[in-house]
């Protein structure tokens, strides 16, 4: 639900705008308001899970997501839609990190790679499945069904969680760090909201940059506040664990590619190559097949080559493939585009699975809840930056070239620039030990006869 939500809506915005008598550009606030609300409450998720129990919070978040989805589906004007999306984002902020926390505390470490591969799949599939699914729903039904579909999914989720998920809670979660929460929320909210609106035309560029700057300043103030505090809302001491530091901070750069790819591919295929929105969505759908194949191949690959070697090789492959998308033209055979997207989906999904698993490989159990929240913060910021940097690059190329409108030549340099930025992550991977995360790559010893 969380990962499909915004990408499904992107294709439905014109129909929603017509129904609500709004401009499609203005209705982009339906997407950014969700991201803002989610970003503001993400830092709180770890403490809430420790205080009230991860299973209870997870079920409550799903119920809240279903209820607010109903509000969004029934909205009759922009104001009601924004209120519904803000509330929906609040529920979403508790779902993803708390759901991951349940997994981290329940799965044996020897099975963590398989578990994280399963968890990574929805995050990779969401941006791929979203556009064609949104287009299909709007074509055969109504945009309101996009929200109503969340209700049965949430009901099934609550039933399964109640039946199978253990009740996990900390004996003493400590007091809530209110000052830290406000600084972290303002920092993350400002960064995500600012990045999401840079180059989109919803807010003037100086305003979007100003919001992002306020977020950056607040984030710095939070770091100063949290340094040395054991009760900080986000425990920065987990960055002393090298594998977690590499996963979250070094992982910001490959996550630029993960965030930018759906955005840039949609522009390239539709504007550069002249495909319809549905054709482009169905073409990128092939990446989902690559992501699905990854689930079965990630564990043996990581066990054979280790985290360090696998991530170094895949970083080079993913960046190379990202740069190669700049070469797509109307003369490129369609089968070659499909092969490239299939391979890209596989390697990007494997990269994210390896990064996400590495981050929790060496963490003690009592650090998992706040580490999960921190990891979600890194993912939000990295992917938001990928989109905003791409939009800024395209805008700069248009100005420099004097192009009157978007075209293939204007979009192509952004693929190359984002690919090069993604390679910065190698600076964090190269110093890693070859044995980094090795403890969770050992197979469980067989039991019985």
pLDDT of residue 447: 46
Burial bucket for residue 427 (CB in 10 Å: 0-12, 13-18, 19+)? exposed
Handedness of CA 257, 387, 371, 60 (dihedral sign): negative
Specify the range with the lowest mean pLDDT, choosing from 88-92, 244-248, 398-402, 409-413: 398-402
Contact 237, 349 (CB under 8 A): no
In 3D, which of 101, 102, 93 has the Cα closest to residue 5? 93
Specify the range with the lowest mean pLDDT, choosing from 70-84, 216-230, 331-345, 362-376: 362-376
pLDDT of residue 413: 92
Helices 368-401/29-41 angle, 10° precision = 150
Handedness of CA 337, 339, 342, 348 (dihedral sign): negative
Give me the DSSP letters along 198-218: TTTSSS-HHHHHHHHHHHHHH
pLDDT of residue 25: 57
Model confidence at 211: pLDDT above 70: yes
Model confidence at 126: pLDDT above 70: no
Higher pLDDT, 335 or 381: 335
For residue 325, give both structure tokens. 């998308």
pTM comes to: 0.78
pLDDT band at 124 (very low <50, low <70, confident <90, very high): low
Contact 325, 268 (CB under 8 A): yes
Model confidence at 444: pLDDT above 60: no
For residue 317, give both structure tokens. 């492959």
Q: pLDDT, tens digit, for every residue of 215-244? A: 889 989 988 988 877 778 787 888 888 888
Q: pLDDT, tens digit, for every residue of 150-170? A: 899 899 999 998 888 877 766
- Residue 268 DSSP label: I
pLDDT of residue 201: 61
- Average pLDDT on 338-364 reads 87
Model confidence at 54: pLDDT above 60: yes
């Amino acid at each position: 639900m969380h990962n499909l939500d915004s990408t499904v809506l992107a294709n439905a915005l014109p129909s929603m705008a017509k129904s609500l008598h709004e401009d499609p550009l203005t209705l982009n606030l339906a997407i950014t308001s969700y991201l803002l609300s989610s970003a503001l409450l993400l830092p709180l998720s770890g403490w809430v899970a420790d205080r009230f129990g991860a299973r209870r919070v997870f079920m409550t978040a799903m119920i809240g997501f279903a209820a607010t989805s109903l509000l969004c589906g029934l909205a009759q004007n922009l104001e009601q839609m924004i209120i519904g999306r803000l509330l929906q984002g609040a529920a979403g902020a508790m779902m993803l990190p708390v759901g991951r926390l349940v997994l981290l505390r329940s799965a044996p470490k020897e099975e963590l790679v398989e578990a994280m591969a399963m968890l990574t799949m929805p995050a990779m599939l969401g941006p791929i499945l979203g556009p064609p699914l949104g287009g299909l729903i709007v074509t055969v039904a109504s945009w309101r069904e996009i929200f109503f579909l969340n209700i049965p999914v949430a009901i099934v989720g609550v039933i399964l969680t109640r039946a199978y998920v253990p009740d996990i809670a900390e004996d003493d979660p400590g007091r809530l760090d209110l000052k830290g929460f406000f600084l972290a929320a303002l920092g993350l909210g400002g960064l995500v909201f600012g990045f999401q609106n840079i180059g989109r035309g919803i807010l003037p560029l100086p305003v979007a940059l100003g919001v992002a700057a306020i977020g950056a300043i607040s984030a710095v103030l939070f770091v100063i506040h949290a340094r040395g505090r054991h009760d900080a809302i986000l425990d920065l001491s987990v960055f002393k664990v090298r594998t977690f530091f590499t996963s979250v901070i070094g992982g910001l750069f490959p996550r630029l590619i993960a965030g930018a790819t759906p955005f840039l591919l949609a522009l390239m295929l539709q504007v550069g190559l002249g495909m319809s929105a549905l054709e482009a969505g169905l073409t990128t759908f092939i990446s989902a097949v690559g992501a699905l194949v990854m689930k079965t191949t990630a564990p043996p690959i990581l066990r054979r080559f280790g985290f360090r070697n696998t991530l170094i090789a895949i970083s080079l492959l993913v960046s190379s493939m990202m740069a190669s998308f700049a070469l797509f033209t109307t003369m490129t055979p369609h089968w070659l585009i499909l092969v490239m997207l299939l391979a890209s989906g596989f390697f990007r999904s494997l990269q994210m699975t390896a990064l996400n698993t590495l981050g929790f490989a060496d963490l003690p159990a009592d650090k998992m809840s706040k580490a999960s929240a921190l990891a979600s913060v890194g993912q939000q910021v990295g992917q938001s930056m990928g989109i905003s940097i791409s939009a800024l690059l395209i805008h700069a190329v248009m100005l420099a070239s004097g192009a009157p409108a978007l075209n293939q030549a204007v979009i192509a340099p952004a693929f190359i620039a984002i690919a090069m930025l993604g390679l910065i992550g190698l600076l964090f991977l190269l110093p890693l030990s070859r044995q980094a995360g090795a403890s969770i790559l050992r197979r469980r010893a067989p039991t019985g006869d």
